[in-house]
Amino acid sequence: MCGIVGVLGKGPVAEQLVDALKRLEYRGYDSAGVATVANGELGRRRAEGKLRNLEELLTRSPLYGNSGIGHTRWATHGKPIEANAHPHMTELVSVVHNGIIENFRTLKDELAAQGANFTSDTDTEVIAHLITHELTAGGDPVRAVYNTLKRLEGAFALAMIFRGYNDLMIVARQGSPLALGYGNGEMFVGSDAIALAPFTDAIAYLEDGDWAVLTRQGVAIRDRDGRAVERPITRSLASALLIDKGNYRHFMAKEIHEQPEVIGHTLAAYVDFATSRIDIPALPFDFANLSRLSLSACGTAFYACLVARYWFERWARLPVDVDIASEFRYRETALDPGGAALFVSQSGETADTLATLRYCRAQAQKILSIVNVRESSIARESDAVLPTLAGPEIGVASTKAFSCQLTVLACLAIAAGKARGVIGPALEMELVQALGEVPRHVATVLRDERPYEMLAPRLSKVHDVLYLGRGSSYPIALEGALKLKEISYIHAEGYAAGELKHGPIALIDENMPVIVIAPRDDLYEKTVSNMQEVAARGGQIVLVSDADPAATGCAIATHLAVPAVHRFVAPLVYAVPVQLIAYHTATFMGTDVDQPRNLAKSVTVE
């Protein structure tokens, strides 16, 4: 994982490097570092922990030089200590790396036997030593990197600078994303275009196997066989995106509150409200001819897929398989040629999701993706893309991207139902109108956060929380538990309400909060029976529902009121209370809500 940047600038670059790294902190924040070439000499500063530690270090101990590289780390090999922070370097070369070098042990043994002195536990350091070995054998930097790249197995995005070369940077990509930014007499490189947004919007993406030699005047790109190639320069949308917290304490709070607006934007892209009809762009397959649809994703996006399964199966009569992307390949499932696979990802860079996409492509599946970053690898490798219009999501715990994923999936399920002849014009209109009301309902939930603030002190004291839901509320229970775990570090589990009696009921006592997601739909009465089972054992029930708590017949410790909504859109509206429960509990506890420990927003390792 990790984020990398590089600048060949007109003046000192340390500040620009840190500025770009701030936009990449979503990729990891265990440590950070920068290196520059100043008067031909390599210099470096590194600090454990968040970027502000590096910033403070640079204030105390500035780093000069007009060319440099930077890194923000999510630890894979070696603890998150300063010695393992990037850049890694020898006297001759400095390297930043995103990815994993799979054969690093063999290479390290070989280099150590030749006398190389390793100072970290990382896989990356072998790259610096391999290049150094080539350089001391008389190679120039380009030849040294070319020979080194041939020896590396695994995934990487690399940027390298060299002693004695003020106007040279070499970068390479295999598996991990890398964007080149073209300035006026300046060149930039970053793990994504957002990192480079303050500097340029002229962006080219390297393809897998590409490596490039950068000077301030331009770039020579070669493919893995050393052939000169051109990669198109596009105008990135990233620079137009404003990234700040506004008046909110945290990005997460801002993003939760943006939901009425971004759900509305996303709906507007897929719905014609004038006619109350779904309006989906052309797809690479016809829903009418599909016998199954396969959905894969990770984390929160996986839970969006679980909700979508209820929609596709109930409303479109389309059988659906849903897989955690990291597990999909291990099922070795038989895929019919010409079948369709749908991938959902906020970042569009999640390594497991991308690997599954490539597996499906190799099995002749048509590939559709729902992504929030349109320029991402998953988007570029799909036959068709349905973007979510959530805008940049900075909080590591996904909120508005999730609700926008649900929005697109709901529209797609209606389109599927129409194509399969099971949703007629009247039902289409009913469902579209229900979707159109979602922004208003979400705004209603967000209008009064006091009940969540009042619940937070109580939840902050417990070690475990259960979330229950039935039908399409079951994935919302899973998502609620994930949100709480991620940002408050309280252990939480989501269960299908009907499964309570098959195990989790053993945990219930008067100290166990049980959060029940229970819209008043046709499953509601069954969920009430499960609540009674909890109440009978003294569990503290937190009811998230439009129902009257007094009418449940059991003691409800807290009622979090939700407006009455059409059952089709309930998951979209009920996603918000579970976000607020997690957010207010975590802020009460004082955790780092936007950058919770050990997590990263974009997970580019398998």
Residues that bind ligand G6P (CB under 6 A): 298-301, 345-347, 350, 353, 396-398, 599, 601-603
| Structure letter (DSSP) for residue 265 | H
Q: How far is the CB of 144 from ligand G6P (least distance, A)?
A: 35
For this structure, is 483 an active site residue? no
Given the residues 22, 108, 483, 601, the one annotated as active site: 601
Geometric angle at alpha carbon 237, from 235 and 241, rounded to 5°: 145
CB 370 within 8 A of CB 346: no
Give the Å distances, CA to CA, from 248 to 241, 245, 251, 443: 17, 6, 7, 16
Backbone angles phi, psi at 468, to 5 degrees: -125, 145
Angle CA 439–445–448, to nearest 5: 135
Token pair 């749908």 is found at 342
Alpha carbon distance 307, 316 (integer Å): 13
Please answer whether residues 498 and 482 qualify as being in contact, where contact means their C-beta atoms are separated by less than 8 angstroms. no
Which is nearer to ligand G6P, 27 or 222 (by Cβ)?
27
Cα→Cα distances 116→90, 153, 244, 437, Å = 10, 20, 45, 65
Looking at the Cβ atoms of 350 and 585, the one nearer to ligand G6P is 350
Give the per-residue SS3 of 471-496. Answer: CCHHHHHHHHHHHHHHHHCCEEEEEE
The whole-angstrom separation of Cα 353 and Cα 360 is: 11
Q: Tell me the helix, strand and coil percentages in the chain, rounded to 5.
A: 40, 25, 35
d(CA 23, CA 43): 23
Of 27 and 45, which has the nearer Cβ to ligand G6P?
A: 27
Question: What span, in angstroms and rounded, lies between the C-alpha atoms of 303 and 384?
Answer: 22
User: What single letter denotes the amino acid at residue 187?
Assistant: M
Q: Which CB sits closer to ligand G6P, 200 or 347? A: 347
User: Are the CB atoms for 481 and 575 separated by under 8 Å?
Assistant: no
Q: Which is nearer to ligand G6P, 231 or 329 (CB)?
A: 329
Contact partners, residue 322, CB within 8 Å, separation at least 6: 295, 296, 302, 305, 306, 308, 309
In terms of Cα–Cα distance, which of 64, 74, 54 is closest to 4? 74
Distance CA 49, CA 196 (A): 23
Residue 477's closest CA among 459, 465, 462, 461?
Answer: 465
Phi first, then psi: what are they for 360, rounded to 5°? -65, -40
Q: Report the nearest approach of ligand G6P to the CB of residue 242 (Å).
A: 21
C-alpha distances out from residue 383 to 210, 323, 367, 411, 496, Å: 22, 20, 5, 19, 35
CA distance 400 to 375: 19
Closest approach of Cβ 367 to ligand G6P, in Å? 15
Give the list of residues 6+ apart from residue 450 with CB closer than 8 angstroms, or none.
none
* Least distance between ligand G6P and beta carbon 348 (Å): 7
For residues 524 and 583, which CB has a smaller minimum distance to ligand G6P in the complex?
583
Cα–Cα dist 298/352, whole Å:
8
**Residue, CB closest to ligand G6P:** 299
HSE-up of residue 501 (Cα within 13 Å, Cβ side): 9
Q: Check: CB of residue 3 under 8 Å from CB of residue 394.
A: no
The CA distance from 139 to 171, in Å, is 17
Catalytic residue among 2, 298, 360, 411: 2
What is the smallest separation between the CB atom of 398 and ligand G6P, expressed in angstroms?
4
Q: Which is nearer to ligand G6P, 67 or 347 (CB)?
A: 347
**Is 2 an annotated catalytic residue?**
yes
Q: Helices (DSSP H) in 61-165: which residue ranges?
A: 104-113, 125-136, 141-149
Q: Let me know: does 393 contact 401? Beta carbons within 8 Å.
A: yes
Which is nearer to ligand G6P, 298 or 432 (by Cβ)? 298
Q: Which is nearer to ligand G6P, 398 or 545 (CB)?
A: 398
Which residues carry out catalysis?
Answer: 2, 601
